[in-house]
Amino acid sequence: MQPFAVAAMNVTRRLLNRGRHALCQSMGELLQKSFGRSSGLKSGLVAMTVCLGAFQSAQAQSEYPEAGRGNTFHVVSNRNEMILTERFARIVELDSRITRVDGFDPAILSVQALTPHRIRLQAAASGVTTLILVDEFDKTYEIEVFVEGDVRHLQSYINRFFPDSSVTAVKVKDSIVLRGVVSDPSHISQITEVAEEFYPKVINHMQFGAANQVRLQVRIMEAQRSRIRQLGFNWSLLTGSGYVSSNPGSLGSPTSVTLDNAAGNSLIHGGASLSDASISFGLVGSGGIFRGFLEALKQEGLLRILVETS
């Protein structure tokens, strides 16, 4: 009887697409050729049992195309993590024989045995649960299953209506979280309105992703050097290693300054007093704007601005 069962399973795999009637009819023909009319009722019942059992197993797998062998989760370590989408299924496979499955929340996950080495997990509702597998050697395997909400319908609308934005919808209990970047500020309210048609509460984490911009203020000016020298502008810089000064006008050099460094050496810079200075200012820190001299020239009428950007 065992060779017959193997032959029956091979025929079953080749004829699954022909339907249940054609499958069982072929099994009957195989039975008649193998055993003849004197084989008896027992052989016929065995053949029909194999036929119907194989057909029901294949039909069950076809109801969950995402749970095929290409989507099999192979358990290799004691602790594992898995992400499932609500109403989706996935097959879990273990090298050794599975003897017990427990620990999971049946409201979130349902389990169906396929073979001694394989089970199918069906996500029923969003949430987190832990699945415990025990094999034939009493070795325990834990699988933490995170079931995320099915937001494919809403996500498809977002991708269709706003192709230039990158927004992801995530279901959190009875609410929906919208995360990502939009190409136009007005899209934020529009995407929120679409999401409210699916969920009563919408949590907005969207941002406007404009490119970084640097704004510059540019002035093109015309001034005569002689006029600038008439206004006068004195400045000096004194450090521990030297000094530098400028005296474009007739006001004289800065007052003499003596500086002692750490080595005990002295540096003396002498000059006339700066008594009639028309401009004085100081710069502290970094990132400041040097505009005092230009504004003074503009107020005195010594500077003509040709172009100025806003």
Mean pLDDT on 151-160: 94
**What pLDDT shows up at residue 209?**
77
Mean pLDDT on 255-282: 47
**Mean pLDDT for the chain overall:** 70
Contact 272, 190 (CB under 8 A): no
Q: Right CATH number for 151-208 from 3.40.1410.10, 3.30.930.10, 3.20.20.70, 3.30.70.1770?
A: 3.30.70.1770
**What pLDDT shows up at residue 81?**
94
The H or E element containing residue 237 is strand 235-238
**What pLDDT shows up at residue 240?**
52
**What pLDDT shows up at residue 112?**
94
Domain with CATH 2.60.40.1080 in the chain: 72-148
Domain with CATH 3.30.70.1770 in the chain: 151-208
**What pLDDT shows up at residue 222?**
74
The H or E element containing residue 44 is helix 41-62
**What pLDDT shows up at residue 252?**
43
Question: Would you state the structure tokens that stand for residue 166, as one six-digit string?
Answer: 């990158």
Q: Please, which residues have CB within 8 angstroms of residue 48's CB and are 6 or more apart in sequence? A: 24, 27
Q: Check residue 97 and report its DSSP letter.
A: P
CATH class, domain 72-148, is: mainly beta
Mean pLDDT on 162-169: 93
Range in 71-75, 154-158, 178-182 the model is least confident about: 71-75
Binned at pLDDT 50, 70 and 90, residue 308 comes out as confident
**What pLDDT shows up at residue 271?**
46
Q: Tell me the per-residue pLDDT of 12-39, one tens digit each, with 9 for 90 and over.
A: 455 444 544 444 455 555 545 554 544 4
Binned at pLDDT 50, 70 and 90, residue 305 comes out as confident
Tell whether the model's pLDDT for residue 242 goes beyond 60.
no
**What pLDDT shows up at residue 117?**
95
Closest CA to 91 of 59, 66, 125, 56: 66
Half-sphere exposure of 16 (CA within 13 A, CB side): 14
Give the predicted TM-score (pTM) of the model. 0.45
Give 70 or 43, the one with higher predicted confidence: 70
**What pLDDT shows up at residue 241?**
53
| 219-244 per-residue burial string, b: 16 or more CB within 10 A, e: under 16 | eeeeeeeeebeebbbbebeeeeeeee
Half-sphere exposure of 7 (CA within 13 A, CB side): 14
**What pLDDT shows up at residue 231?**
56
**What pLDDT shows up at residue 291?**
47
Question: Would you state the structure tokens that stand for residue 198, as one six-digit string?
Answer: 């699916």
Closest CA to 142 of 85, 214, 77: 77
**What pLDDT shows up at residue 11?**
47
Q: Tell me the per-residue pLDDT of 79-128, one tens digit each, with 9 for 90 and over.
A: 999 999 999 999 999 999 999 999 999 999 999 999 999 999 999 999 99
